[in-house]
Homo-oligomer: A and B are copies of this chain.
Amino acid sequence: MELSRISSNPKIAVDAMGGDFAPTNEVIGAVQASNENPDIEVYLVGRREEIINVINQNKLKFDFNNIIHADEIISMGENPTTALRQKPNSSISIGTRLVKDNKADAFVSAGNTGAVVAAATLILGRLKNVERPTIGSYFPNSSGISTVFDVGAFVDSKPQHLLSYGILSNIFVKEIYGIERPTIGILSTGEEEEKGTKVTKEAFELFKKTNLNFIGNLEGKDILTGKANIVICDGFIGNVLLKFGESVPKLLKHMLTEYANKNLLNKIKIGLLKNSFKQAMTPLDPNLYGGVPLLGVNGNCIIGHGSSSALGIKNMIVRAKEMIEKNIVNKIEESLKEYSNIG
């Protein structure tokens, strides 16, 4: 390992073995990030030989000293805790430990989400007053993007967990998007305070006691209109919504194809508009948003979609760089102190 040298450049460890197209997309994306951001020190964590193969096959330039060998791979379907126990030398464990040991400033992975969350929680530890870390995600809206917390780190959240998702995400959105007081709403079945589940109604009371920019309940229709910068929900509903949302473009494509197959005129029309449609829908591509942050752990961690493209991986690294430079973890720690008496 060549990591001990002192440098003020952000050092980012990338899981080369996570994701459906690993290590190809991971290596290509990481090298692109490194080339376009010479100030970032990128480390590829995974099977050395496989990583070198991708580098050579794609004629990429990458310092082999920055490959951190990790022999084991946690696959997408594995049970996170079992896998972490059985595979101490997985790219996820070793990558996370680099952050723990201050040899990297962030870990980036498009691998098994549960395993990344578990590794970060176990190895980096939770910040003081955080019972549950949270994963956020981005939903495009008519004026930019909304963020949704939690999208699946944990289910069966208690009211105080929902509050903590708000406290954590408030700092993230403030710092990353430069919004001084992000608007925060609780996802519910109606705007009225009395709408929702037992848990969301109690969370509503907790949020009211804070000085967060809490705007009350949101409905499902408010996410894509951007009614709030931050949408708070249990990880179960966030996970279902995220996966549902991601499946929409596929249905649209299917419907356009069905329409085209009705007759020749339709086929010609759809043929002509296909590219325009694709271009217009670009903002829906999750690869643009650079992965989702895991907040509440003692270190920077970015989680990517299993199907991340090389562009997606590159953007995850750029997002990690922002999180490092903006000192998100420390700012979250400060903010948590302020709210330690609520919930």
Contacts and interface: CB of A to CB of B under 8 A. Distances in A.
Interface of A: 79, 140-142, 152, 155-156, 187-189, 194, 196-198, 200, 219-225, 233, 235-237, 239-248, 250-252, 254-256, 258-259, 266, 269-270, 272-273, 276-277, 279-281, 283-284
A248 B248 CA distance: 8
Given A142-B254, A189-B235, A220-B244, 5 more contacts: A140-B255, A200-B236, A219-B239, A221-B246, A256-B277
Given A140-B251, A247-B225, A272-B272, A240 B189 contact: yes
Contacts of A258: 280
Residue among A269, A270, A276 with the highest chain B CB neighbour number at 10 A: A276
Nearest to A194: B79
Nearest to A189: B239
The 3 closest A-B pairs by CB, nearest first: A220-B243, A259-B280, A273-B273
Contact of A273 (B252, B255, B276): B276
A236 B157 CA distance: 14
A224 B253 CA distance: 12
Contacts of A248: 224, 248
A187 B223 CA distance: 20
20 contacts: A142-B251, A155-B189, A155-B197, A187-B240, A188-B236, A189-B235, A189-B236, A220-B240, A220-B241, A220-B243, A221-B246, A225-B247, A225-B250, A241-B241, A241-B244, A255-B283, A258-B280, A269-B272, A272-B273, A273-B277
Contact of A236 (B237, B239, B272): B237
Given A197-B156, A259-B279, A270-B276, A224 B247 contact: yes
Nearest to A259: B280
Given A156-B197, A156-B198, A240-B187, A247 B276 contact: no
Contacts of A225: 247, 250-251
